[in-house]
Amino acid sequence: MDDTADVEPKISSIQVTEEVKSSIDPDDAYGYTKTSNFTSEVFKIEVGNLPRHCGYGELKKLMNKKLKLNPHKINVVSRINKAYVTFRNEEDKVDAVAKLNAFVLKGNKLSVKNAKPKADVMAKNKRENVDSSTSDVENKKIKVEDENISMEVLSDQLKNTVIPWWKSSYEEQLKLKQSSMFSSLLEIRKKVSAVDNLDNEVFVWLMQQKKESGAFCPMDDILPSPCVGGYRNKCGFTVGKNSEDQAMVGFRLGRYRDQVCNVENPSCLIHVPDVMKQIVECFTQYVQRSKLSVYNTHTHEGFWKQITVRTTLENSSMVIITMCKQNLTDEKIQTELQSVIDHFETSNVKVDTMLYEGVPTHRCNSKEISIKTLTGDGVIYEKLFDLKFRISPDAFFQCNTKAAEVLYKCIGDLVKQAIDETPDSKETALLDVCCGTGTIGLTLSSCVNRLVGVDICEQAIIDAVKNATLNNITNAEFYVGKAEDVLPKAIESLSGINSMNLVAVVDPPRCGLHAKVIKVIRQCPAIQYLIYVSCSVDQAKTNFVDLCRPQSKRLNGPPFKPMLAQPVDLFPHTKHCEVVLLFKRILPVL
């Protein structure tokens, strides 16, 4: 468990002379703490003897609200009942030590002591391996410093890193994903079956599945992506140095922790569309002649950091340039950005809207990062089926548009199935949880009487409302906030809910839904069907178990049973795969 909290900064002053800075060993794993760059790691404590199951939220509430402390980052390590907390300055750290030490939390007396800063992974590994013999290529990958390595070998290494299944035929990839998904559902069935006092109907159903296939529920054959090449509509490209020490825009050849920071051009990658490759090449040319250096992830010096490119099926494009501002004046930054704009125009590379994301330092929180529109409207538009969607810089939109249509059609078919099994007298409302910009709900709005969307991101909800207006959809309403907080209000907004059939669709992040959201869903009897869209069933296992658990004080309301699993491939050439699971509420025994 690794959770982080950021609060409004209270910058402390750390001055380091140029003489000291120049004397810092670049391979020193703690060298970053000796530079002029701010890091809260120098104000770090270890909080020990935490109560069992004490989580990030509970500790954050204790520190912020009860003890009135000012933590910068909180990292709870549950398996050893400890937490590591950093602060913005020595004063806040001392205050925390005084208040937390010997504080009794749920019968446990907390212990507090100073903690060492976190070691820089790359510097640490580099020092540890300095005397090590070179491993073979299979075990340690290719050392990109070797001057004899050909571009073909570098291209293969890049493909192995970014699209590791590129050597397999698409048919073989689908077979592997089908098999992997079945294995995951088999494990989930075992976990749910191990729960004590399962509802009889759930238990009988699972025993039947065990006998028939062994999986959690029946699983249909994976639905393939309509396109396997050039399907990515969003990519974040790193700005760094290639194997010849030239400025380059593209993807890293490996992981930072493996000491691989070299960046290579994405021209060899089949999943990146040509329009993106042209934009990357154009920006690479500019960076190579720019007087501003590329950002160095080890020393945290330099300026050009990343560009994010979003495209549409009609080749509209958005480019977000991320720059570490360092000590540049606003005037200098503006001049440089205008040069970028001019370069794209003279190169005849079309960009519909260009934005700038300024990052003050390498250790800043999201409140310190600003996005400014340089050209265009700051948004682009994409079509899904016969609807038009507005995409803002931070908006979530499935990375494979054509495969997203396959996914949403699958969800729509399950919603219609739920409606068909409901008495004709009932109206149907669709509850879209983690709705983002409204893509799922709005594409299904014509199938239901009411649509209610919920999402934590305010900008996403703004986009969802505008998308509804853009498509003349009048039966939709949206709420912003944590799902566990706003779901009760959203459900209450449905007048006559007790006589209404409520179908819920959830499309959460990779880690799944918060336990409190599952609790709200369980205690709402109007939700008879739940459609769960997961991009990582292994990480969402706990959600599936809790949906099937017997009724209790914590999980009030009859459980659900899994009816069907439908895998959908949105990510060709990688191991990742979406799955849509249909759950049906167990009717209470009268």
Confidence (pLDDT) at 487: 87
Instruction: Kindly list the domain boundaries of the chain, sorted by start residue.
Output: 37-114, 174-225+428-438+450-585, 234-311+317-351
CATH architecture of 37-114: 2-Layer Sandwich (3.30)
Confirm or deny that 173 is annotated as ligand binding: no
Residue 131 annotated as lining a ligand binding site: no
Cβ-contact 81, 8 below 8 angstroms: no
| Residue 507 assigned to a binding site | yes
Distances (CA, A) of 182 to 310, 532, 579: 33, 17, 11
Mean pLDDT per block of 10 residues along the chain (590 residues) reads: 40 38 59 74 92 85 92 86 91 92 89 86 55 44 47 86 96 97 95 93 94 94 97 97 93 69 93 97 97 90 96 96 93 96 95 94 66 96 95 92 97 92 78 94 94 92 96 95 87 73 92 91 90 94 95 92 97 97 84
> What pLDDT does residue 141 have?
42
pLDDT in tens, 230-270: 999 999 999 999 988 999 999 998 765 555 678 999 999 99
What is the reported pLDDT for 119? 76
- The active-site residue out of 54, 434, 535, 577 is 535
Q: Burial, 576: exposed, middle or buried (Cβ in 10 Å; 0-12, 13-18, 19+)?
A: middle
Report the candidate in 417, 439, 409 with the shortest Cα–Cα distance to residue 529: 417
β-strand partners of 306: 238, 322
pLDDT of residue 77: 86
Q: Is 217 a catalytic residue?
A: no
Q: 174-225+428-438+450-585 has which CATH code?
A: 3.40.50.150
- Residue 145 has a pLDDT of 44
* Whole-angstrom distance, CA of residue 35 vs CA of residue 21: 6
Architecture of the domain spanning 234-311+317-351:
Beta Barrel (2.40)
The predicted structure's pLDDT at residue 493: 80
